[in-house]
Structure 1
Amino acid sequence: MQDPTNDDARLALDLALTIRHDGHGGVADDLTDPAGLTTWAQAHVAPGFVAGDAELAAVRELRAAIRALFARAVRPGEPSPADAARLMPVRDALDVLNTAAARTPTVPVLHWAEDAEPVVEHTAPSDDLVAVLARATITFLTGPDRQRLRACHAPRCVRYFLKDHPRQEWCKPACGNRARVARHHERHRQGAGS
């Protein structure tokens, strides 16, 4: 594993999206057991990673902190409906995030190509998944993409997403369709009750 850069700071969003709509009106969690975390980590950040119970607990706690901080980041908009009633307090979320990021130290490494300006890269000497995810979250929340972060409020959706264009309201077209159908049904229901 390597220290997150702006290119892979999306890891924070990907981790938050392990809580999702299950397709049947409920919420699904991709990280319910070590096998789920192993599958997710191998696909997103650490190809040889194998999770145990301790790693699962640490990543789930970090994810709760990330979703609480995402809820703060989307203000004055509403948080994801999956989190609205059970958000971790922001102070606690910051403590969890900062403690996780400090689990392994980072080492600044200077790179200076012949025809370029010097660049510093922060590398982590160990393979601590939680620390890598926490540093990716810090990079994300302090970077320009935080301004594009939104919670999708389509019926039954619980995702956060990055707004790609000014008129985007939902995380994906299917959510937009569900929202339009729900509005249509609501208008017709209200019209029939008059």
Structure 2
Amino acid sequence: MGTNAPLLGEPLPVELMNTIWADRNGGYDALSTPAETTGWLQATGHDVTQAPADLALQLRELRDALRQLAADATDDPRPRTSNVDALAVVNRACALAPSWSSLNTDGSVVRICARTTTEQAISKIAEQAVSLFSGDHRSRLRACLAPGCVLFFVRQHPRREWCSASCGNRARVARHYDRHH
């Protein structure tokens, strides 16, 4: 099935935030239908065969909350698209999948969830978002400020300024144009 959303190898919560993207033809949403939501979940490694209709809505709500938290964390100057109680949304998503650890005879630990696969997926993303916004990655989270880009990324290298090489090229071209016109 797959997804059209840009998958940049970022932490899962950042990948969810980036399910909204833009190019010169307009803006896109990779979670606008249950089929697209299923494709994105499968592309990001979740074992979901068919997402229920309300899952796309839940993921969009979580995405909007994460984008709001990321905008706050990065002092993102771009206009905001939503105004939700972001912390409440993330905490509610974390609570979807009560889980516990189970120790195997070989000494390995397995997390067991008592909920459905889709609730596990939402909870997993929300749990990773809590780690992202409360851990070391928070200070490395960046908004890509290339012209027309709406994506976020985690800065792995001190010189990285954009989410992708194409955004870097677009920003350099825009600076060149501004200098010469």
TM-score over 0.5 for the pair: yes
Mapped to 2, the partners of 1:85 and 1:131 lie a distance apart of 24
Q: Specify the alignment match of 2:132 in structure 1.
A: 140
Mapped to 1, the partners of 2:124 and 2:49 lie a distance apart of 13
What is the Cα deviation at residue 86 of structure 1? 2.6
Q: Specify the alignment match of 2:3 in structure 1.
A: none
Distance 1:110 1:130, change over 3 A: same
Q: Please say if 1:52 is aligned against 2:52.
A: yes
Mapped to 1, the partners of 2:134 and 2:81 lie a distance apart of 24
The structure whose RCO (Cα within 8 Å, separation 6+) is larger is 1
Mapped to 1, the partners of 2:125 and 2:148 lie a distance apart of 27
Structure 1, 130-139 or 159-168: larger mean CA deviation: 130-139
Q: Specify the alignment match of 1:151 in structure 2.
A: 143
Unaligned runs of 5+ in 1: 1-7, 190-194
Q: How do 1:10-21 and structure 2 match up within 5 A?
A: 10-21=11-22
- Aligned partner of residue 27 in structure 1, secondary structure: strand
Q: Please say if 1:185 is aligned against 2:174.
A: no
Mapped to 1, the partners of 2:173 and 2:180 lie a distance apart of 11
- Contact 1:26/1:156, CA 8 A, preserved across alignment: no
Unaligned runs of 5+ in 2: 1-8
Q: Which of 76, 80, 86 is matched with 1:85 structurally?
A: 80
Count the aligned residue pairs.
170
**Bigger radius of gyration:** 1
- Contact 1:149/1:161, CA 8 A, preserved across alignment: yes
**Percent identity over paired residues:** 38
Query: Scaled by the length of structure 2, what TM-score is found?
Result: 0.82
